[in-house]
Amino acid sequence: MPDHDPLAAALMYYKRGESPPRDLEKRAVKASLAVLAQRAPGRSVEVRVPPYAAVQVIAGATHRRGTPPAVVECDARTWLELVAGLAQWHIVVADGRLRASGERSDISSYLPLEPPLDQGNGSIG
């Protein structure tokens, strides 16, 4: 497994029908959310990938306390497949793997995050 590229490594596990090690999946999720936050700065939409991380992105009304006005939430596998372009936003929303509610919650224009996630090598970590 390319340990320096947690996204590629996690996707390889999924492809084989296996679950990646928790720490690997967590690194891939956190790194990809950091890239999203860098590319879509703001605090109007909260993107949650439990149990690993959440970030606030997209310019607009700033959220500080309580439930944010816009939330995107999905499991790690769904998120990483969206990040890599292996899943399509409208399909994962329609089949319930991703929940998006509130104004500006459609972040599909930012996905997939490739290329490049990292200068030069296309990795996120």
Is residue 116 over pLDDT 50? no
Structural domain that includes position 21 = 6-110
Is residue 47 over pLDDT 90? yes
The CATH number assigned to the domain holding 48 equals: 3.30.1050.40
* pLDDT digit string, tens, across residues 70-96: 999 999 999 999 999 999 999 999 999
Average pLDDT of the segment spanning 21-30: 98
Separation in Å, CA 49 to CA 1, 37, 53, 119: 23, 14, 6, 24
- Looking at residue 66, what is its pLDDT? 67
The mean pLDDT value of the chain amounts to 88
**Does residue 12 sit within a domain?**
yes
* pLDDT digit string, tens, across residues 52-67: 999 999 988 765 666 7
**How many separate domains does the chain show?**
1
Are 124 and 35 spatial neighbours (Cβ–Cβ below 8 Å)? yes
**Does 69 or 58 have the greater pLDDT score?**
58
**Does residue 124 sit within a domain?**
no
- For residues 84 and 105, give the distance between their C-alpha atoms in angstroms, rounded to a whole number: 19
- For residues 32 and 123, give the distance between their C-alpha atoms in angstroms, rounded to a whole number: 9
- For residues 122 and 8, give the distance between their C-alpha atoms in angstroms, rounded to a whole number: 10
- Looking at residue 6, what is its pLDDT? 96
**Does residue 70 sit within a domain?**
yes
Are 57 and 40 spatial neighbours (Cβ–Cβ below 8 Å)? yes
